[in-house]
Structure formats: structure tokens, C-alpha cells
Structure 1
Amino acid sequence: MLPTAPARASPTFQLDMATPKDVPEIIQLWYDVFSIPAMLELWPDTPGVRWWWESALHQDMLHRPREKYLKVMDASRGRIAAYGKWSLETAQERGPRFPRWHPDMDSCHNDQFFQVLENNRARVVGDGRKNFYFDMLATHPDYRRMGAARLLLEWGCQVADQEGALIYLDATDQGRPIYEGFEFVDRSDAQSQSHLTGLVPMVREPRRVM
């Protein structure tokens, strides 16, 4: 009888706020996760675009207090296993989601892509109700299906419940199951243009806090 392979030990995760010193590792993690043609068309992996990322993340962390970056640390290895960005404000309160595109980016393509997402959010939750946006979720391939994404979602859902806020997000097909586990509902329709973005709008109603 062949011996069975030992079970992979689950890492010890620690959830914390990301800081500016984490930005280089966060950017590398983003490219580790999203180096696929559709994403590289938006954010090519060039030194100039990495500089753009650094500038954008520093601006958020230092000057936009309702834009929250969280990290899930593998405490045993001292590395970031996953990170998420929660925008705890409406699109109107937040203002432009991104700074001016870097010359290495296709500004026309990016403008069209993100305008579709902004239009979807405005149509689905832009009726005056308080709403937050789960802007980004990236889990390193070494840590998938280990609960890191769940920690990031639980944090934002608790804040939304406490403040009575809807949560809006744009989901990939791969990400939909975990969001559905947190009571997010697919709100796509004929106007969503998911065929252009590969993303579907999803919304979670706040739970009543006792």
C-alpha cells in the first residue's frame, strides 16, 4: 500500500491594515494573481505602470481615510497571503476611482472599461442608499482556498452591517461562489455589459445588528 501524502498544514493568518511600506509587496502580489491578458491590457507590467500603482496606493492610504487596504499575513513566513481594498463611501463621496492613467496604459480602453463598472454601480445602488464598494481582492496562488479571502470579506461585511450600508462589487465567475456565501446577489441585467468586462455586479444587503 502506497503511503498517503501528508496534509498541507494551514498557515496562521493575521488580518491587519496595510501601510505604505507594504505597497511594493501588494503590487507584486497583484501581478502574481492578475497576469492574464485581460488585466494586463488594463495595467501592463512595466516600470511606469508599477510606479503608477505605487503613487495611487500611497495617495489612498495617506489621504483618503475611507479607502481601506487590508492584508492577510502568513505569520509563519512573514509574507502577505492576500489583500483587499474596501471603499467605505459612495461613488459620489469617493470621487474618481483612479488617478490619471500612465502613458504606458491605453487610456481610451481603460476609460471605456471602468465607465461600464461605474455605470453599473450607479444603476444598481445609486438610489441614495448608503453603499460601500469591495474594490479589490487578491489571494496569492499559494494560499487559495485557505480562508484568507474570507477574513477580508468578514471585516468589510461587519463594518457595513454596523453602518447599515449596502455592499457593491464586481465579480468574476471564479469569485462568485465565495461572494454568494456572504449573501451577495447577482444584479446583472441587459445593461450590465458583462460581455465587455467579464464581471457581474453583485450586491449584499446589510444584516440588522442586534
Structure 2
Amino acid sequence: MATASTLEMEPATLEDVETITEVWFSAFTDPSMRRLFPDTPGFRQWLTDANRSDMINKPFQKYLKVVDTASTDEKGRPRIVSYAKWDTATLEERGRRYPPWHADSPADECEAFFIEMEKVRRQIMGDTRHYYLDMLGTHPDYRKRGAGSMLVKWGCDLADREGVAAYVDASSNGAPLYERFGFVGNSASNPMLDGIVTPMVRK
């Protein structure tokens, strides 16, 4: 069993993108998300390629990982147990969040869902400068052991140093973690998002 002393946070690298995909699919098993992000070989490759492209082309997106130094993967490296993607750009600077959808996904449904998420974010935040926790996933074996907290704290500390707010579209399971760091659920909502994500803001 991992302890706090065996978990370390590091910048994620291009060598990590395939493992990041594995962590994502182990972390997000809710039927509503699995419908948008189907667990097929083609879609897994699409997600891997999307993260690789972002790492290369979008330096304002900060990828972080937590590794367990007491456990190794098949290549003998410390096992990646959690990862996060903090976006420090504005919506205009970031551009499109995902590339064109893979054929295995319901493209029209995916497009509508993420458009609504960004619409709600604009409604809530307006012109307020903020950093966006785009993604945080933790392998089920490592939940409630501090990995997620390390990744959330990194972004909150950065936001505090630079005097900006923070925003996350939280799952029901993730909301308690964000609340501990000062995120507050917002009443602004949309029927398409209800029960899937909750907008949360840290002033």
C-alpha cells in the first residue's frame, strides 16, 4: 500500500501519454462519460494523440503526474497513479478543447456537451481571470491517499501566487476534494450537465 512518503508529483512528459490514457479509463467509468468516451482501441489512441498534441503545442496547459516510488510499471519506471491537466489560458487563447471526434464516439453529442460546459463557464466567470482544472484522474487503487490533493494544491498555489481564480467541472465523486481547497459549487447549470458535472469556483 502506498503511503504519502512514496507518492511524488512531477511534470508529465510525452513518454507518459499512453499511461495517462490508461489512468483516465480506470478513473472514469460512469456510464454517461463512457458513452461520450467509449473504451475502444481507436478512441484510446485518439485520446493519447490529443494529449500528446496538447503537450507539444499548448505550453499553457500544464500536465502533472503523481507516481508511486514504491511500485513500478512494466518498463521499470515508477508507476503513474494520478494525473492532472491545468489550463492557464483564457478560452480564446486555448481554442478548441478537443480535436475532431473519433468515429467510435457520438460526435454530435460530444460536441454539444462540451459546448454547453464552456457556455456555463463563460456565464459564471465572465471576464474574471482564472485557471481551469481541465482534467484530474486517479487510479481507483490510489484514491483517498493524497495524490489528487497534491495535484489540486499545485494549481491552487499557482493561482494564489498570480492572483487569479480557479475553476473546475467536478464530478460528484470529486466535489468533496475540491471543496477542501476552497472551491464552491455554483448554481448556474444546464440540463445537459445535470448529474454529470458541477461547476465549482475558487475565488
Per the TM superposition, whether the score is higher than 0.5 is: yes
Question: Quick one: distance in 2 between partners of 1:165 and 1:93?
Answer: 16
Partner of 1:21 in structure 2? 15
How many Å separate the matches in 1 of 2:115 and 2:46?
20
TM-score for both structures, normalised by structure 2: 0.91
SS of match in other structure, 1:76: strand
| One-letter amino acid of the counterpart of residue 122, structure 2 | A
Q: What amino acid is the match of 2:84?
A: G
The 1:9–1:93 alpha-carbon spacing in structure 2 relative to 1, beyond 3 Å, is closer
Equivalent residue number for residue 33 of structure 2: 39
Which is higher, the Rg of structure 1 or of structure 2? 1
- 2:128 maps to a residue whose letter is R
**What secondary structure is seen at the aligned counterpart in 1 of 2:85?**
strand
* Aligned residues of 1:131 and 1:168 also touching (Cα < 8 A): yes
Residue 59 of structure 2 corresponds to residue 61 of structure 1: no
> Is 2:123 the counterpart of 1:123?
yes
Which of 59, 64, 67 matches 1:73? 67
1:200 aligns with 2:198: yes
Unpaired runs of 5+ residues, structure 2, are 72-77
Residue 172 of structure 1: how far off its partner (Å):
1.5
Query: 8 Å contact 2:117–2:193 — kept in the other structure?
Result: no
**Contact map agreement 1:192 1:201 (CA 8 A) in 2:** no
Once residues 108 and 81 of structure 1 are traced to their aligned partners in structure 2, the CA distance between those partners, rounded to angstroms, is 32
User: What is residue 170 of structure 1 aligned with on the other side?
Assistant: 169
Q: How high is the sequence identity, in percent, across the aligned residues?
A: 42
Q: Show the 5 A alignment for 1:5-20.
A: 10=3, 12-20=6-14
Q: 1:203 to 1:194 in 2, by over 3 A?
A: farther
* Aligned 8 A contact 1:15 1:72 in 2: yes
Which ranges of structure 1 fall in alignment gaps of 5 or more residues?
A: 1-7, 206-210
Residues 181-196 of structure 1 aligned to structure 2 (within 5 Å)? 181-189=180-188, 191-193=189-191, 196=194
Within 2, Cα distance between the matches of 1:79 and 1:44? 24
The residue type paired with residue 167 of structure 2 is Y
Residue 98 of structure 2 aligns with an amino acid whose one-letter code is F
1:202 Cα shift? 0.6
8 Å CA contact 1:116–1:193 kept in 2: the answer is: no
Counting matched residue pairs gives 196
Q: 1:9 to 1:69 in 2, by over 3 A?
A: closer
CA contact (8 A) 2:131 2:165 kept: yes
Q: How big is the alpha-carbon RMSD for the aligned residues of Structure 1 and Structure 2?
A: 1.4
Rounded Cα–Cα distance in structure 1 between residues aligned with 2:196 and 2:30:
13
Which residue of structure 2 aligns with residue 3 of structure 1? none
Counterpart amino acid of residue 3 in structure 2: S
Structure 1 residue matching 2:128: 3-state secondary structure: coil
TM-score where L is the length of structure 1: 0.89
CA shift in 2, pair 1:38/1:164, >3 Å: same
Q: 1:196 to 1:112 in 2, by over 3 A?
A: farther
Give the residue type in structure 2 aligned to 1:97: R
Runs of 4+ in 1 over 4 A off after TM superposition: 194-197
